Amino acid sequence: MGIGMFSSQPSPIAIDFGSSSLKLLQVSSAEQPELLAAIEIPVPAKIRGDLDKLMEFYTTEIPPALKKGQFKGKRCIISLPCQQSTIQHLQLSGITESNIEELVQSNLQIQLNCMPGSLVTRSFPITSVYRDDQPATEVVTLAIQRELVMRYVAMLKKCKLATIGVHSELMAMIRAFDHLNRRESDKDTSTLYVDFGWSATRVAIAHGSNLVFARAMALGGRDLDLHIAERHHCDLAAARSQRLSLATHTTSNGVASHSTNGMAVFNAGLAKGRMTSVARQPEQGGIAVHDDRRVGEIAPALRHSIDSNGSASPVDELSLNDVIDTMTDELSMCVRYHDGLFPGRNIDRVVMVGGEARQSWLCRTLVKSLRLPGQLGDPLARLVFSSHSSVTGLTFGQPQPGWAVACGLTACPTDL
């Protein structure tokens, strides 16, 4: 590759083991990253709950996908499905930088009834609290069975890949928007991230890029399909087809797009070298909006605003009131928990990502219930696209919220 503004070695291959699809992504390691390769492989519905069959599927599908997508190198960095991990908020006394993981492990061993050393944990001290009238520290912990991690590593080794990083979907989702939180003042912006997937919904609240709350809800697109199938006496495939027919995000169904062509967003990156920051825009009602600090434009990753006053929701028509009410109640509880930890600090906005976030009516319904401004996250929009990019499964000109985890993995550290 010649020496130039965007020339660099490729990053490790990011692999998002989602519940309904497998996504592989590779970008350059330049300051303004170029999209080098991307491919999405749907996971057959009948094997999504069977780990043994999933491993066989991955072993069969990954090698030809690497070849088809023209991915470079053998290093990979991965995220594992949230249903295979545990998220816990703990209140611990006497923690230090050196003993936090030991205290977390001992607490989780009791709560989860597991053997010592059987978990791989990542812990994030959040804030000071009081427990039983004694000072303590609120800690968010993400944990996964060590044996499961090693099983994925062994499977990828069969695919001739070396795993150099393993991360949770939730942290990868936040990392996908790190480029919006580079300045010191960005810590003042509180964002509620909602990753709405097929099997579950991941929720994270971050101050700038710092995680302060995390939760996984066992509610996803599958639950919507189950309710539709039960109420309308059809099979799951027909229920999903009916729901997805109302799912596309376009400017005509309530998503205000600031771009008419996704390719223009990629190419504009070449010319403008976007760098983003947070700014308060009085003309937009005090909503926190990320803009391009050089030219004053809204950042590509958040160009698609969710209009909570858009067209009517099909919730009643599809008999989804119960599941939507449960979801909005759960999200409201997440916000209240955050408000209890940080009195007087409000959530500034909601960013919706995940494959199921392509449903504009659902995003509108959730944002309206929370009474917060919302954006549809599109982290791939900041990448430079060129004639050298090899892309399968992406539709340019449309936001790609389902690629948030894969995109975030490219910004995660290598830790194995």
Neighbouring residues of 339: CB distance < 8 A, sequence distance ≥ 6: 345, 346
Hey, what's the torsion of the CAs at 391, 414, 217, 209, to 10 degrees? -90
- Cα distances (angstroms) measured from residue 140 to each of 124, 217, 406, 416: 5, 16, 22, 21
Q: Where are the domains of the chain?
A: 13-409
Pairing mode of beta strands 390-392, 210-217: unpaired
* Nearest one of 337, 105, 91 to 214, comparing CA atoms: 337
Mean pLDDT of 233-260: 62
| CA–CA gap between residue 272 and residue 289 (Å, rounded) | 19
Mean pLDDT of 290-314: 68
Pairing mode of beta strands 201-207, 210-217: antiparallel
Report pLDDT for 89.
95
Interval 112-168: pLDDT, tens? 888 888 999 999 999 999 888 889 999 999 999 999 999 999 999 999 999 999 999
* Nearest one of 277, 297, 296 to 288, comparing CA atoms: 277
What amino acid occupies position 166?
V
Which CATH number is 13-409 given? Answer: 3.30.420.40
**Band of the pLDDT at 274, cuts 50, 70, 90?**
very low
Mean pLDDT of 18-26: 94
Q: Which helix (DSSP H) or strand (DSSP E) does residue 107 occupy?
A: helix 100-112
Interval 204-225: pLDDT, tens? 999 999 999 999 998 998 998 8
82's tokens: 């949230």
Q: Which residue has the higher pLDDT, 253 or 356?
A: 356
Report pLDDT for 310.
62
Mean pLDDT of 39-61: 95
| CA–CA gap between residue 111 and residue 114 (Å, rounded) | 8
Report pLDDT for 337.
96
User: At residue 261, does pLDDT exceed 90?
Assistant: no
73 sits in the region (left: phi over 0; alpha: psi -120 to 50; else beta) called: left
* Nearest one of 89, 94, 136 to 111, comparing CA atoms: 89
**Residue with tokens 């698609």, as numbered in its chain:** 304
Report pLDDT for 142.
93
* Nearest one of 121, 214, 210, 209 to 170, comparing CA atoms: 214
Neighbours of 114 (CB within 10 A): 16
Report pLDDT for 257.
38
Q: Do the beta carbons of residue 92 and residue 140 sit within 8 Å? A: no
User: At residue 319, does pLDDT exceed 80?
Assistant: no
Report pLDDT for 2.
39
Q: What is the CA radius of gyration of the chain?
A: 21
| CA–CA gap between residue 390 and residue 86 (Å, rounded) | 35
Neighbours of 332 (CB within 10 A): 13
Mean pLDDT of 321-327: 88
